[in-house]
Every structure is written in C-alpha cells, then in structure tokens.
Chains A and B, each alone.
Chain A
Amino acid sequence: MSVMASSEFGGTAVSRVATRAPRRPFRAPSALPGFGLAYGFTWLYLGLIILIPLGAVVLWAGSLGPARLLAIATEPRTLAALKLSFGLSLAAAALNAVFGLLLAWVLTRYDFPGRRLVDAAVDLPFALPTAVAGIALSAIYAPNGWVGALVPFKIAYTPLGVFVALVFIGLPFVVRTVQPVLADVDQALEEAAATLGAGRARTVFSVVLPILGPALLTGFALAFARAVGEYGSVIFIAGNIPYVSEIAPLLIVMRLEEFDYAGATAIATAMLALSFAILLLVNLIEAWSRRRLGHGR
C-alpha cells in the first residue's frame, strides 16, 4: 500500500548493503528449515506475476525511445488528460489531508456515542468496489440526483464530479496514517506546553501538529498516488468529455481498445514519471520536516 514506506525500505536496503556487504554471508545461520523453498517460491511467483509483466511495460517504453514517448505524451488531448488527473488528484489529496486530520483527531481524542462504528466506516472506500462507488456517486450528483438537484451548478459530468470521486476514494489513507501517530503522542508534551503558559490553540498548532506533519504528508502522498491511477469510481461520474473531464487512465484504456499499445505505454510512462517526481518531492519535504523538528516517528 505504502509508496512512501516502500521508498524508505529501499533506502535502508541500500545503506545496509553498503555498510555490511563485504563480510556478511548471504543469509544468517538459522535452525529453521524451509528457507530455500520459501525464498525461491517467493521470487519465482513475484517474477512471473509482477516483475516480468511490469518489465514488459518498461521494454515497450524503451523500444519507443524518448522522442516518440515525449511526442505522444505531449499531444494536446493527452496533455489535457494528464493535467486534469494530476491537478484534481493533488486538490483531492489536499482536501483529504484537512478532513482526514480532523477525523483522525476526533476519533482518537474525543469520545462520543458510535465512535467505534464511525471508525470502522472510515474504511468503506477500501471495501466498496470502485464501480459501485462510481455509479452511486453519479446517481447522487447527476442533475436530478439528491445533491445535484440542490446545487445551481453541474457536478456530475464535469471536472468537479471527478474531484468528488477522488475525495471519496482517498479519504481513508490520511485517517489511517495519522491515527496511530496521534494516539502515540505523549500528552506530557501538551501538559508541559500548558504549564508554560501556551493556550490550547497554540499547543495544538506548535506542539501536536508538527509531530503529525510527516504522517500527514505520507497520507497525502498515498491518497494522491491512489487518485492518479483511479479508474472505476471516476469514469461514471466524469462524463469523459475529451479536453474537459477525461482522465489519463481512461485514455490508456481507450488506446488499448484501439490496439494502440505504443500510445497506451507512452501515457502510462508519463503518468509513472510524473507520479514518481511528485512522490519524491513529498518524500524530500517529509525528510526535511523530520530533520528540522528533530524527531522521528
């Protein structure tokens, strides 16, 4: 699930190998049997199901060459779809960061009737199949739907509809990354701030929120990564009008249906490159904020 955690794992892998590689044997001695079988099967299955198929995408992109990749990715229609996907994903992740933090706070710090039920309900977007969410959202936000009929402007079949769907699917990521960190915050810090004369608002903004910063960023990045690639919950409510409400993953599907594998690969490569750049940036901000504040998670 975690893009950020993954890159952290990757980081430790590199440093461990760099410091210990020369002397360390491949595997530490163990009394337990079955390492060869389990290890071999893991790599075999991983290779066949994940690595070879993903390798095919890389190979295909490589055979196109950078010039053609760039030419396809900067076609006006593709460019419009990429802009829409990335812009709305960032906006949806930002809204999720705000309300995800609020929800995590309310669920961790306050007690109210039905708190456990609400806590469980936060995972609904993970549990509800995306196609179901998609048709339900378009029924609600269509001009004759429950919400669509109330507002004076169109939501479904516009970029705003795409935004609503992306907010729906991204919400649990922020809540679930912030919640455990907030629960672990040492309340003695808050007591110390209060005895030193800080008001409650100052304590929250200068003491508690900075501790939550890295987790909040991780949740933002996860929600963003999910939103960029999201397909099922978006296509029903989007209306899929070229240049207006057409998302990048839909364009990939259309190219594949036309047997234009090169076009599909180029759009996918552009999506991966852009996502990687943004996630790297978020990772850097996270590392910087952690260093600056001088505390880990």
Chain B
Amino acid sequence: MAADQAALAAPPHPTTEPRAVRLAAIALALGFLAFFLALPLVAVFHEALRGGVSAYLAAFDDPDTWSAIHLTILVAAIAVPANLVFGLAASWAVAKFEFRGKSLLVTLIDLPFSVSPVVSGMCYVLLFGAQGYFGHYLQSYGIQIIFAVPGIVLATIFVTFPFVARELIPLMQEQGVAEEEAALSLGAGGWRTFWSVTLPNVRWALLYGVLLCNARAMGEFGAVSVVSGHLRGLTNTVPLQVEILYNDYNFIAAFAVASLLACLGLVTLGVKSALEWRYGDELASGRRH
C-alpha cells in the first residue's frame, strides 16, 4: 500500500496526469464498477441468505429445482463437447490451410454472437414448432423438439457455437504449420500429429474456450426460454427455474438457486483470469495480459 502511494506521488511526468486527476479518475472508475457490477453480485447472496442458512438450504428441497440442475448439466454435457469438436475441426481447416472464402467462413462462425438470444430460439421454433416448416412432419412421427429437451440442446448449441473456435483460430494461425510439417516429415501420421503436436500447443486456449462455452451453456436464458415451454420438472433449466421461483414470489428460493449460477460465474471468472495470468502467452494474443 505504502509503495503504491509513493508511486502515485512521483514527480510530475509529461506523459501522465497530475496526481489529483489520477486519484479522481481511479475513484470514479472504481465507484462506477462497485455500483454497477459489485452491488448486483452482493445482492444475490444477500437476498438468498435473507431468511438464514436453513431457509437457504430449504430452497434445495424442491424436486423441480433438482430436475432443473440435472437438465442443465445434461444440456451442457451435450452442447459443450459438440462445439468443442466443431471448434477443433473449424480451427484446423481455417488456421492450417489457405483456401478461398476463408473470411466468409470466419464471419459466419462468429455470426451467432450478433443474433439476439430470443431470435436464436425463434429460428428453431420456425423450423420445428407446431406451425413451423417441419412441424406437421414431426408431429405425424410423434417427435417433439420444441417444448422438449432436443430444442433446448439445439438452442444452447446455437448460442455457444463460436466460443471454442474463436479462441483456437487466432492462436493456431499465429503458431503456423512448421511443427506439424516437421512431425509429418519425421513419419508421424495425420492423427498422431494432431494429438501429439497440435493439441498440446493449444491446450490452454482450448480449456479457456470450453470454460466460457460451458458458462454460457449453463447460464443461457433467452434462447432456451423460447424453446422450453416452461414445463415444471421437465423442460426447465436452472436459469428458467430461477425465473419461475421469482415469478411465484418465492424470492429466497429464487435467489438461492441464482446463487448457484452466480458461483458458477465467479469460478469461471477466476479460472479465466488465472489462465490469462499464468498461461497468457499460450492464449490468443487478445487474451494476453
């Protein structure tokens, strides 16, 4: 603390601001963050523990909450590996080869981030909903996608689509192909090269992407809300269960379940920052600190 104070009191320098301005700017920035970011986070835990620890724990006696937790884990367990495999395939094609239309492909991979979550859910309703393009066909075979688990999985894959690919593509582009070519010239096969050379080179970026992908998959609300139908105990993920409890005026339970998601967010943020600090030079350049 004292050392930092001394640093702030250093003699005037042409490329920084006067000390008073610096202190005011720091205070204003931190005040803004505390007001807009820290306050909501504290509020979640404050409201959840409003009735004491026993009321907090009682919130988890609800079987609907447990089925929501199971569904969220199931959905993430399908969506994250699916986008992981896609991310590896897409980054191998985009980063290791030169081909026409590459920029278009990269743009399209990022597209889901510019689509409103509500519209992401809506496009599956237009395809598979009761009045959708394939609605009648699916109905005649008794297949339900919308208001059922497959729709929730599809909507989650849609909104988490670019997370792994966008971490891997820039990093693998920086790394080039020299190491893979060396492995091949030494007699390794294609898969062996991939497993022993490419994958170890990108492992931390891969973990980083999977981490963000998982956080979004477990926390997604808008897209899932549109396709879920809100059937209690059947098609509610954890965020939707929070909404239902909140709308039932069951505030302590709503905030208790929300506190689980808040912890997931905090753990994600912690591991993400640790990866940036510890393995920054093994992540894409935009992630280095």
Contacts and interface: CB of A to CB of B under 8 A. Distances in A.
B209 interface: no
B44 A249 contact: no
13 contacts: A17-B100, A35-B99, A37-B89, A38-B90, A41-B86, A54-B115, A109-B16, A120-B273, A137-B40, A145-B43, A195-B14, A261-B126, A265-B126
B84 to A, nearest CB: 12
B126 A1 contact: no
Contact of B97 (A13, A30, A106, A259): A30
Interface in A25-47: 26-28, 30-35, 37-39, 41-43, 45-46
B265 A127 contact: yes
A57 B190 CA distance: 40
A45 B158 CA distance: 11
Contacts of B4: 111-113
User: Which among A111, A135, A236 has the highest number of chain B CB atoms within 10 Å?
Assistant: A135
A57 B254 CA distance: 34
B106 interface: yes
Interface string B87-116: 001101110111111111111111111111
A26 B36 CA distance: 50
A146 B110 CA distance: 39
Contact of B89 (A42, A200, A253): A42
Interface in B110-138: 110-119, 122-127, 129-133
Given A130-B221, A252-B118, A49 B239 contact: no
Nearest to B180: A32
Interface size class of B (residues with CB under 8 A): 35 or more
A229 interface: yes
B20 interface: no
A168 B37 contact: yes
Contacts of A229: 115-119, 222
A56 B122 CA distance: 10
Describe A's contact surface by its main secondary structure.
Answer: helix
User: Which among B90, B103, B180 has the highest number of chain A CB atoms within 10 Å?
Assistant: B103
Interface in B30-52: 30, 32-33, 36-41, 43-44, 47
Given A17-B101, A24-B100, A28-B99, 11 more contacts: A12-B103, A49-B158, A103-B29, A107-B29, A122-B33, A124-B265, A129-B219, A129-B262, A140-B40, A190-B15, A203-B15
Given A131-B239, A171-B36, A232-B221, A10 B104 contact: yes
Nearest to A51: B108
A194 interface: yes
B55 interface: no
Interface residues of A, number: 109
Contact of A119 (B28, B41, B289): B289
Interface in A77-121: 99, 102-103, 105-107, 109-113, 116, 118-121
A31 B183 CA distance: 11
A190 B7 contact: no
B14 A136 contact: no
Contacts of A12: 103
B242 A56 contact: no
Contacts of B29: 99, 102-103, 105-107
B205 interface: no
A265 B127 CA distance: 12
B284 to A, nearest CB: 12
Interface of B: 1, 4, 7-8, 14-18, 22, 25-26, 28-30, 32-33, 36-41, 43-44, 47, 86, 89-90, 92-94, 96-119, 122-127, 129-133, 154, 157-158, 161-162, 166, 177, 180-181, 184-185, 190, 193-194, 212, 215, 218-222, 225-226, 239-240, 242-243, 246, 251, 254-255, 258, 261-262, 264-266, 268-270, 272-273, 277, 286, 289
Interface in A47-63: 49-54, 56-57, 59-60
B118 A28 contact: no
A167 to B, nearest CB: 6
Interface of A: 1-3, 5-7, 9-10, 12-13, 16-17, 21, 24, 26-28, 30-35, 37-39, 41-43, 45-46, 49-54, 56-57, 59-60, 99, 102-103, 105-107, 109-113, 116, 118-137, 139-140, 145-147, 164, 167-168, 171, 180, 187, 190-191, 194-195, 200, 203-204, 225, 228-232, 236, 249, 252-253, 256, 259, 261, 264-265, 268, 271-272
A139 B103 contact: no
Contacts of B123: 53-54, 56-57
Contacts of B194: 34
A38 B119 contact: no
A293 B160 CA distance: 37
A132 B256 CA distance: 10
B271 to A, nearest CB: 10
